Amino acid sequence: MRGDESRRAVLARAVDAATVDGLDGLTIGRLADASGHSKSGIATLFGSKEQLQLAVVAAAREVFIDRVVAPARARTPRGLVRVCALLGDWLAYSRDRVFRGGCFFAATSVEFDAKPGVVRDAIVAASSEWEDYLTVSIEYAMAAGELPLLDDARQLTFEMVSFLEAANTRSLLHASEEPYRRAEAALRARLVSLGGGDPELIATIGAAPAA
């Protein structure tokens, strides 16, 4: 389909716009103007606004995997090193403003948390996929004896994503890098308290991301 190329170009703009104006704030008319198509061209490309929103969530999921999961997975072995790489890459993905409004899922999961429907379901599925991956990564570290004082990987996942998302929102809200330093300090302190405090390793959380 030749429409595939157009879809991709429109989706790239749409994901970015959704982090600023929300997924419900997307309009077919504005996307049309921004991408040089007619309004009905966009409508035909996606079928309906809801289908557009679902396509945007799927596109955002791919960017997230590309920027966070895949790099950490490619350059680190299982265990605490990978957990630290995932955290560092998440922070870089937020800090580097891959999207103008920061993390796509931080923005849209709050937007849709009280709006039942297939769009929320898709956001929940993608978010859960990420958190499940982080949990499994923590479990590998536990199995390797790298977090001797931890007994519940899901609890640590909750705490870690709490820090990541709070840093994302607050850095945007205050136009400041300080929240990222707060999150890094919180993550490091928590790892240390769980017995996983290899200083060289936890320093990588705040290091520059791999290219």
Stretch that binds DNA, among 48-56, 80-88, 156-164, 186-194 (CB under 7 A): 48-56
Rounded Cα–Cα distance for residues 147 and 151 (Å): 9
Instruction: Kindly write down the DSSP assignment for every residue of 97-142, as one continuous string.
Output: TSSTTS-HHHHHHHHTTT--SHHHHHHHHHHHHHHHHHHHHHHHHH
92 is in the binding site of which of a copy of itself, DNA, none (Cβ under 5 to 8 A by kind)? none
CA-based nearest residue to 63, from 31, 107, 16, 22? 16
Q: Are 206 and 178 in contact (CB under 8 A)?
A: no
| 48 touching DNA, by CB under 7 A | yes
**Which CB, 26 or 69, lies closer to DNA?**
26
Rounded Cα–Cα distance for residues 67 and 89 (Å): 7
| 113 touching a copy of itself, by CB under 8 A | yes
65 is in the binding site of which of DNA, a copy of itself, none (Cβ under 5 to 8 A by kind)? none
Rounded Cα–Cα distance for residues 125 and 1 (Å): 28
Site map (CB under 8 A) of a copy of itself, residues 135-154, x = contact = -------------------x
Quick one: tokens of 50?
Answer: 């809801």
Q: Are 146 and 192 in contact (CB under 8 A)?
A: no
| 207 touching a copy of itself, by CB under 8 A | no
Stretch that binds DNA, among 1-9, 65-73, 77-85, 192-200 (CB under 7 A): 1-9
Stretch that binds a copy of itself, among 28-36, 44-52, 67-75, 103-111 (CB under 8 A): 103-111
What is the separation, in whole angstroms, between the first and last Cα of the chain? 33
161 is in the binding site of which of DNA, a copy of itself, none (Cβ under 5 to 8 A by kind)? a copy of itself
Q: Are 59 and 23 in contact (CB under 8 A)?
A: no
**Which CB, 2 or 114, lies closer to DNA?**
2
Q: Are 118 and 144 in contact (CB under 8 A)?
A: no
Instruction: Kindly write down the DSSP assignment for every residue of 51-79, as one continuous string.
Output: HHHHHHHHHHHHHHIIIIIHHHHHHS-TT
Stretch that binds a copy of itself, among 50-58, 72-80, 108-116, 137-145 (CB under 8 A): 108-116
| 24 touching a copy of itself, by CB under 8 A | yes
Residue numbers of the site for a copy of itself (CB under 8 A)?
Answer: 19-22, 24-25, 100-102, 106-107, 109-115, 120, 123-124, 127, 154-155, 158-159, 161-163, 165-166, 169-170, 172-174, 179, 182-183, 185-186, 189, 193
